[in-house]
Structure 1
Amino acid sequence: MNTPATPSTPTEAARPDGPSVRIGALVPLSRPGWVEAGQHLLAGLQLGVREANDAGGIEGRPLELVVRDTAADPRKAEAAVDELAAMGVAALVGEYHSVVARGAAARADALGVPFLCSSAVLDALTEQPTEWVARLAPAQSHGWRIYADFLLAAGHSRIAVAAEPTVYWRSGTRILRDHLAPRGATLIELDARALTPGAVCDALAAQHATAVLLLAGHPEPAVPIVRALRRDQRLADILVGAPAGQPEFAEWAALLGDDGTGIPFLRYLPERLTALGVRIEKALRERLAEAPSFVAFEGYDAIAVLADVLRSHGTDRVRTAEAWSRVSVEGTRGKIQFSRVPGIGVWQWAWPPVQVVDRDPARPDRFRELHAPATA
């Protein structure tokens, strides 16, 4: 992979003149953050900045990305928001990890800095409704209910989760339970942090589960659990799933090979990209030297939205926050508009396209669409 871990600079292409309009970018670029997701997110952000500047920038001024590594640490993210706000950034963008994005959103709200969250899905991104934060990624409750419907349609009624006890995974478990139980399915909870991979297999066999979902970090403990499952003859027919999207990235395939195929996960892409999406996919592929994930498209779309808002409404922070409801931007995955969704405290794109896909066992570098809601 050749994605640079530095912000785009005005020397990348012909750029406007004058003092730059700064955008603060929050991205996980070191462990324990999911570095590959961060690299894809950054690639999308950088490409968006380059294209915005090639189109004349913001009122004749270049757009500049000021990147800060969050390393999946909410405290680092909060400190970065403080620093970037003091630097005078017009807005904040990015972040992949939900708990980190929640910390960043709270600080952005407190400081009065617009924050467009690209990729984090936790429903409760803020404790209270706020005008300062908008989000591109679908709320976890939306995507994970679609995943639960996929499981039910496939005939699964005894579904286990091997989950770590964190806010994000607990939220996912609750969403699944609340959706599955009224429809006659049983959700079996296993502690992925306390149990060894072998013990997880023993519990699944004893409980006669037909599906197990990996609500756990990558690569640990998700990868060892998958290896154990694939080698346990008692569980030869069990469906292994990963709704949070761990199999999306090349690292998953590199670590697991054939063991990592046939594991359904949520992907926020349409069946077919827009014409813009097709062009951006090619550019992202060149930048990353591999197929771009949906996270890279989220990064690009986030900059496309912010550039449009800043051109239309100026760089004043208050005016930017007031403009979320008026956004109408053609993104790589469809038209982006924000609204208020019940139970969600931020301005939300409702909804980005959602698919359930897996890596094709016959072609591990290809994805198969298994399920998509009719409205996607």
Structure 2
Amino acid sequence: MPRNMHFCQSRATSIDLCAHELALHSQNKRNLRIFAGGEEDLFDDVDVLPVTAPGGKPSPAKFYDPLSEFGPHLIVVHQHLETAFQIINDFPGTPVVLHRHGRFERNSAYKRWKYTRKMNRLAGIIWVGEDARNNFCENFTGVRARSVVVPNGIDCEMWAPAPKENAVIYVGRAREDKGVFDLAQAWLACADRLERAGWKLNLVLAVTDEGERSTENALRQMLSSRADSVSIESNLSAPDVQERVARSSIAVVPSIVAEGFGRTAIEAMSCGAAVITTHSGGLWEAVGETGKVINPRAPKEIATALLDLADNLPLRQDMAKAGRERVLRLFNIQQIAENYDDALMSLWDDFVSGSHKIQGMIDHMLVSE
């Protein structure tokens, strides 16, 4: 788990949560170890080794000694390409798989050529969504490494419905490109009507740096006139986040950026919330036909969707039922973890046999509909 990740209870990103769930439910749990930056409250239900002191940045060099001591047969690097390249150089006989959680920038022709040469040394690339994988294939046509799609999975017993309140929830990073200001603007536009019906807005923010702290403060100021109906909380523990989502009737995922997948969307769907989301990146892969899909950067569309759902209990219930069923069918962590283990074993077999050097891009284990 390289830089900008927080493999811990209070500040985990979607990448950390994905890695944690896959490790926790892996058939190979007893034989794997997570190497991550130091945190005060590291996840303690999997084997994790901090490679820095709490708050330190895990640069590629920080992984060399602990990896050497562990002696891995396969190494998975989450998200950070340069860390994967360095580890390939440090451990030339060990297959290294890059697990990408979002799109890869197209960059200049020279950079694409340079990255293509490096990526052809990977044992494979795992993507969380078809949109990100397809975008990569279009822009990096010379990469021979197998490209596998295994979406995020969640524990549907943990992310389960609770008695509902008239609550709208946003869970995510405190970043403008997540569309959180669009949601705030939409709430201000229709707050009078929603408040009369007893509706409240809860922003559950992940705040990991000064920029995100600034965004949180700006949101508090922007929504200060609606303090009676708006709650803003930051860096909650995972159980607290689950509790907030489980009680919410509507969840909004208004991303502007092209998301690799939509973990927060499937968490809300599993908890029986009606979901409003944009069609940015792979979000559609998460919600399918079960959510209200709108345009990004469209506060008016968010407001309209909120009013439609707030006024229509049968519609909310139908969406909640369909969303929960979709997650149980496609994104249950037990099945996803099994698929992931199988994908890693297949990539390891290819590396050992040498066939990874001659294979082209392969569609493999496409789980979404």
Q: TM-score, normalised by structure 1?
A: 0.38
Q: TM-score, normalised by structure 2?
A: 0.39
